[in-house]
A and B are shown apart, each in its own frame.
Chain A
Amino acid sequence: MRKGVMRPGHVQIRVLDLDEALKHYKDLLGLIETDRDEQGRVYLKAWTEVDKFSVVLREAEEPGMDVMAFKVVDEAALLQLEQDLVAYGLQVEKIPAGELKDCGRRIRFSTPSGHDFELFADKLYTGKWGVTEVNPEAWPRGLQGMKAVRFDHCLLYGPELAATYDIFVNVLGFHLAEQVLDPEGTRIAQFLTVSMKEHDIAFIHHDEPGKFHHASFFLETWEDVLRAADLITMTDTSIDIGPTRHGLTHGKTIYFFDPSGNRNEVFCGGDYTYPDHKPVTWQAEQLGKAIFYHDRQLNERFLTVLT
């Protein structure tokens, strides 16, 4: 049941070198820089996004994900969710408005998978980039590289998937769109959503907590994914795999790495879900096909190369 969590809001990614990272996220992915703060963090967004930023880059000595944040419908929902998280037994940290520029107050909590998440209700509405609000053109000119449409989801690796599922589904109101079950019926992958998308957040079981597999950005068409692949070659960017199709979600995809080794995905397509849909289940024995539908086998990197 929905609890007022609306959609992914932003992801804060640690990078080893900010200038290299900006070249990657702006020139290659096509995100737009919208601000910087006194901590040195850089704020970016994709062109169709209406809020001021969806990606925050922070220079650090260890790459990975600091936090993923979800936007909730309003302050009342935020207050209720805060109470619900505390009642569930989680420690909730309150982060004042303005700690991220032009973002309202956030509440932060950790899941047993070892990841930090935030909820917020307000962020400066700047509108879609480069198009007018009234009688908008189809797309703006002047976009760079892959022309990413939106920040779509993250895939995270960690332990305690069942406990993490409990928080996302029963406290935050996500529903399970897709899963991978091992022969004993234990869920080793869970794709969770608050929308019609097959995942707003996904987890795969991994013994080490808090690992970041990828941040994913949406493209419109398969042609766009192929063009992204061309750009990856033209810029000698580290590629992981693809273009190919996933079995899970059936999205068409390519994986590559930012200059600090954080994995990115751009993808198009994918199935849809409604809350009355039963979860799509893949068997762990078919994990190769579930992840890479054409190769039907995993590359070792998919399970082990993380930040």
Chain B
Amino acid sequence: MAGVQVFNRTTGDRFSCEEGQSVLKAMEHSGLRCVPVGCRGGGCGFCKVTVLNGEFQCGKMSKVHVSPECRKRGEVLACRVYPLTDLTIECRPQGAADSTTEQQQK
């Protein structure tokens, strides 16, 4: 498999993703920063995206950030999304943290 294409509808960026590679890792390998990068381990919720189109598998993710309902709506963590087909994703605007971990501290 030569890899699938991921299209970030929020930013207009496109990048290819190899088999077995997570969406977030593929994005980082492409030199893009169109999805916020956090822990890369399914724990912090920073890289939450909504998958609008396409098939994918998921690795383990924190229940706090991805409830079963979220998962059904395609709201998942890019670091734990492994595409099976081309994907179209949407992400929160840059700089926004997960609503549950958001803070303004300066």
Task: From known contacts A62-B62, A208-B100, A261-B62, infer whether A188 and B41 are also in contact, taking CB-CB under 8 Å.
Answer: no
Residue B106 CB within 8 A of the other chain: yes
Cα A207 to Cα B105 in complex, Å, equals 9
CB contact between A304 and one of B41, B64, B103, B106 (< 8 Å): that residue: B103
Residue B35 CB within 8 A of the other chain: no
Residue B1 CB within 8 A of the other chain: no
Cα A54 to Cα B21 in complex, Å, equals 34
Cα A259 to Cα B59 in complex, Å, equals 11
Chain B residues with Cβ under 8 A from A64's Cβ?
A: 43
CB contact between B62 and one of A63, A188, A207 (< 8 Å): that residue: A63
Task: From known contacts A205-B105, A208-B101, infer whether A260 and B41 are also in contact, taking CB-CB under 8 Å.
Answer: yes
Nearest B residue to A204 via CB reads B105
Residue B38 CB within 8 A of the other chain: yes
Assess the B106–A301 pair: CB atoms within 8 A. no
CB contact between A301 and one of B41, B46, B98 (< 8 Å): that residue: B46
Cα A62 to Cα B100 in complex, Å, equals 14
User: Chain A CB within 10 Å — which of B42, B44, B97, B106 has the most?
Assistant: B44
Chain A residues with Cβ under 8 A from B43's Cβ?
A: 16, 63-64, 257, 260-262, 307
Cα A304 to Cα B105 in complex, Å, equals 10
Chain A residues with Cβ under 8 A from B106's Cβ?
A: 284, 287
Total count of chain A residues near the partner, CB < 8 A? 30
0/1 string, B33-62, CB within 8 A of A gives 1: 000111111111010000000000000111
Assess the A257–B41 pair: CB atoms within 8 A. yes
Assess the A304–B97 pair: CB atoms within 8 A. yes
Residue A82 CB within 8 A of the other chain: no
Chain A residues with Cβ under 8 A from B73's Cβ?
A: none
Assess the B40–A238 pair: CB atoms within 8 A. yes
Chain A residues with Cβ under 8 A from B98's Cβ?
A: 304
0/1 string, B91-103, CB within 8 A of A gives 1: 0000101101111
Q: How far is the CB of A207 from chain B (nearest CB, A)?
A: 5
Query: 15 more A-B contacts (CB under 8 A) besides A16-B43, A306-B44?
Result: A61-B63, A62-B62, A64-B43, A208-B100, A208-B101, A238-B41, A260-B42, A262-B39, A262-B43, A287-B106, A301-B46, A304-B46, A304-B101, A306-B101, A307-B39
A-B contact list, 13 entries, CB within 8 Å: A16-B41, A63-B42, A188-B105, A208-B100, A257-B39, A260-B43, A262-B43, A263-B39, A304-B44, A304-B97, A305-B38, A305-B39, A307-B43
